Amino acid sequence: MNRNINEKQLAAWRGFVERGTIDAAQVRPEVAVSWRRCAAAGVDPYAPKAPVKLTAAELKAVRRRNQEFIDAALPFMHFLETAVRGSGFILVLTDRQSIVLEVFGDEKILAMARENNYVPGCSRTELEVGTNAICLALQEQKSVQLTGPEHYNVRHQSWTCSSSPVFSSTGEPLGTVTLSGESIGAHRHTFGMVVAAAEAIQNHLREREAETKKTKSEIMLTSILMSVSEAIIALDQEGGISNVNPVAARLLAIKPDEVVGKNIAALFPGTPDIFRNIQESRNATPVEATIDAQKGRGNFIVTPYHTQTGTSFQGAILVVAERRKFIHSVRELSGLNAFYTFDHLIGSAPVFVRQIELARIAARQDSRILITGETGTGKELLAQAIHNGSARSSGPFVAINCAAIPRDLLESEILGYKDGAFSGARKGGQVGKLELADGGTIFLDEISQMPMDMQVKLLRVLQDGIITRLGDTKPMRIDVRVIAATNEDLYEKSRAGGFRQDLYFRLSVVEIGLPPLRDRAEDIPVLARHFMGRLAGNAAGKAVAISASAMSVLCGYGWLGNIRELENVLEMAAIVCGQGTIEPQHLGQRIQPLSKTSKEAATRPTKMKEVEIDVLRATMQELQGNIALVSRNLGISRSTIYRRMREHGISRSVHIG
């Protein structure tokens, strides 16, 4: 099954074909009615491809009966084909009986269509292939888009199909225009383009009946531009504006007759290289553009669809959108979401429960939060839970590790940059993480590693809610909640001058400290069983049980790497023991000798430094000073290993045998 299929829709489809139930939250009424018709007619949802219904002679007769419709549609079909060329879509024209008359597209997608007998002469009725966009558009007499499991037949569930009926001047259905492609390639403009093409064909038929004097190309362009719901600007091959539809005129606050004939750069003076960017960009690659007006700066995203003859650029159709709305749509597709909730936080130790309760209370506010805790205690998981428990849960969750990005790139990564801001900058500029998080939450992990100059810029964002991209001069206002995390004592570091104290106080409105695993030893058994449940059935290991003696060893160990280390140890133990029960000998050499030390540490006052020295020395000895292996086994970054070696005076050479 295609990995891009909507899992909830797929579950709803399975529920119907296996049990006859309809999930009204996932299945639209018209789709549900169609499914029921298919089931009542005995249509097999797992049926192989349907045979081509018509012979060559029969198809010729059908085409002859629909010749006027075909002649009116072909110019628009060719235009639409040019607009989507190279994007993996197939363009189909059918008659009123759902018989395919014409098929256009790239050779790769046409080959896929031929594999399913999706060719001229095939039938797309419900009885032949189950619920699909073509038959549903004709049945409902309205435009329809079906995605993935909304299709009744499993063979069609990797496709998204947009179909719009075409009517005669008397209101009789003539057929449909359909764009189909793999679901991963579908975007919000596809449906509007199909609707616009269908309306343009209808307008063309009516104009022909009225013996209009307009040329076919003028009718085509005017009809599409006036019908589409997006803001559209048409360019000629020199970059001159040839048409502006009403939506674009309203969005840009312009009068079409004042800009038609001018170069596109005159419309966007803040982006003088816009036409060059459009020409040189790949088809449908977004380009940023700005307009400076009396009311302030307008920021837009222009998506060009090239029209060309062979490889020769002939112009472009530009889809214009407000940058904020465009970025919102990008975030929905890019996975900038938080997956964990408070239900995923496991533990009943009082020291842990108190912090989680504080986090629940803080989540309902909009205050900034600083999460502290050692490496591996689950700081990002808690940050996601706070986001999902807040009023911003429907917004984006953007995470960035301040220690993982090179110092020279961190500022551009967080703030973004304008086109040409520095050598090597991406053409068209880049949206920063703070912009992507607008309306949601940004999680700044390892905030203690943020350079001082970047701390100053972040402080201004927290104070004013304003950012300025690198290379730009115009500020932008954003609405972002900041959650930061650190494994250091940030207050002491700020007092020592290693971190800005004013920024520390800005970040730590609410400070939540996640306790280390050794301070919540009573949670180790339940965490261990949770991890083993996740490992059960994985290729890494089949063990689902832990012996009492092995559990005792786990509870007595110091866990310098905390929960992450516990998970790693159990995964390794599951691999070693195969399908049996995990015993102490499966837990690794470093776990055993330290269990005694850890038990003693539980009964007498022992500083964390002593435990860290023991664990690091033992692991370094076991792995012969290989820092990469030590990092992997403890679940701690190499930079942290080196830092703790310096702090505790541990010499690497001492441990190399």
User: In the 3-class helix/strand/coil scheme, how is 410-443 assigned residue by residue?
Assistant: HHHHHHEECCCCCCCCCCCCEECHHHHCCCCEEE
Q: Is the pLDDT of residue 411 over 70?
A: yes
Domain regions of the chain by residue span: 7-209, 230-330, 342-513, 543-655
Residue-wise pLDDT tens digits, 358-379:
999 999 999 999 999 999 999 9
Ramachandran sector of residue 5 (left: φ over 0; alpha: ψ -120 to 50; beta: rest): beta
Q: Is the pLDDT of residue 572 over 70?
A: yes
H or E stretch including 163? strand 159-167
Q: What amino acid occupies position 357?
A: E
Please report the pLDDT score of residue 599 as a whole number.
44
Ramachandran sector of residue 284 (left: φ over 0; alpha: ψ -120 to 50; beta: rest): left
Quickly count: other Cβ atoms within 10 Å of residue 160's Cβ: 24
Are residues 481 and 394 in contact, defined by beta-carbon separation less than 8 angstroms?
no
Q: What amino acid occupies position 595?
A: S
Burial class (CB in 10 A: 0-12, 13-18, 19+), 566: buried
3 state SS of 233: strand
Q: Is the pLDDT of residue 325 over 80?
A: no
The average pLDDT across 193-201 equals: 91
The average pLDDT across 208-225 equals: 64
Quickly count: other Cβ atoms within 10 Å of residue 340's Cβ: 18
Are residues 66 and 191 in contact, defined by beta-carbon separation less than 8 angstroms?
no
The counts of H helices and E strands in the chain are 28, 19
Residues forming beta bridges with residue 300, ordered by sequence position: 289, 322
Burial 307-331 (b: 16+ CB within 10 A, else e): beeeeeeebbbbbbbebeebbbeeb
Residue-wise pLDDT tens digits, 574-618:
888 876 788 888 888 778 654 444 444 444 344 445 556 667 777
Q: Same fold for the domain at 7-209 and the one at 342-513?
A: no
Q: Is the pLDDT of residue 1 over 50?
A: no
Residue 571 — pLDDT band, cuts 50, 70, 90?
confident
Are residues 483 and 386 in contact, defined by beta-carbon separation less than 8 angstroms?
yes
Q: Is the pLDDT of residue 145 over 50?
A: yes
Please report the pLDDT score of residue 483 as a whole number.
96
CA 145 to chain CA centroid, nearest Å: 21
The C-alpha atoms of residue 13 and residue 655 are separated, in whole angstroms, by 60
The C-alpha atoms of residue 314 and residue 239 are separated, in whole angstroms, by 10
Please report the pLDDT score of residue 268 as a whole number.
85
Q: Is the pLDDT of residue 126 over 90?
A: yes
Are residues 185 and 87 in contact, defined by beta-carbon separation less than 8 angstroms?
yes
Q: What share of the chain is helix, strand, coil (3-state, %, to 5)?
A: 50, 20, 35
- Our CA dihedral for 146, 148, 151, 152, rounded to 10 degrees, sits at -160
Residue 243 — pLDDT band, cuts 50, 70, 90?
confident
Q: Is the pLDDT of residue 237 over 90?
A: no
What fold does the segment set 342-513 form as a domain?
Answer: Rossmann fold (3.40.50)
The average pLDDT across 553-571 equals: 90
Please report the pLDDT score of residue 364 as a whole number.
93
Q: What amino acid occupies position 440?
A: G
Residue-wise pLDDT tens digits, 474-533:
788 889 999 999 999 999 999 999 999 999 999 999 999 999 999 998 999 999 988 888
Q: What sign results for the dihedral spanned by CA atoms 192, 194, 197, 198?
A: negative
H or E stretch including 477? strand 476-477
Q: What sign results for the dihedral spanned by CA atoms 313, 319, 324, 327?
A: negative
Residue 643 — pLDDT band, cuts 50, 70, 90?
confident
Are residues 366 and 393 in contact, defined by beta-carbon separation less than 8 angstroms?
no
Please report the pLDDT score of residue 657 as a whole number.
33
Q: Among candidates 189, 163, 237, 211, which has minimal Cα distance to 87?
A: 189
The average pLDDT across 453-468 equals: 89
The C-alpha atoms of residue 423 and residue 39 are separated, in whole angstroms, by 61
The C-alpha atoms of residue 644 and residue 634 are separated, in whole angstroms, by 13
CA 90 to chain CA centroid, nearest Å: 25
Give the residue with greater pLDDT, 575 vs 357.
357
The C-alpha atoms of residue 43 and residue 83 are separated, in whole angstroms, by 36
Give the residue with greater pLDDT, 149 vs 288.
149
The average pLDDT across 71-79 equals: 91
Residue 341 — pLDDT band, cuts 50, 70, 90?
very high
Please report the pLDDT score of residue 272 as a whole number.
78
Quickly count: other Cβ atoms within 10 Å of residue 210's Cβ: 9
Sheet holding 296-309, edge to edge: 241-244, 231-236, 312-322, 296-309, 287-293
Residue 215 — pLDDT band, cuts 50, 70, 90?
low
Q: Is the pLDDT of residue 544 over 70?
A: no
Q: Is the pLDDT of residue 213 over 80?
A: no
The average pLDDT across 142-150 equals: 93
Q: Which CATH class is domain 230-330?
A: alpha beta
Are residues 483 and 369 in contact, defined by beta-carbon separation less than 8 angstroms?
yes
Please report the pLDDT score of residue 181 as a whole number.
84
Q: Is the pLDDT of residue 117 over 80?
A: yes
Backbone angles phi, psi at 135, to 5 degrees: -65, -35
Average pLDDT, the chain: 83
The 3-state secondary structure of 532-595, one letter per residue: HHHHCCECCECCCCECHHHHHHHHHCCCCCHHHHHHHHHHHHHHHHCCCCECHHHCCCCHHHHH
For every residue of 80-135, DSSP letters joined together read HHHHHTTTTEEEEEEETTSBEEEEEE-HHHHHHHHHTT-STT-B--HHHH-S-HHH
In order of 464, 481, 644, the CA distances from 461 in angstroms are 5, 11, 32
Indicate whether this model's pTM tops 0.85: no
Backbone angles phi, psi at 119, to 5 degrees: -135, 165
H or E stretch including 176? strand 173-182
Are residues 216 and 75 in contact, defined by beta-carbon separation less than 8 angstroms?
yes
CATH number for the 7-209 domain, one of 3.30.565.10, 3.40.50.720, 1.10.260.40, 3.30.450.40?
3.30.450.40
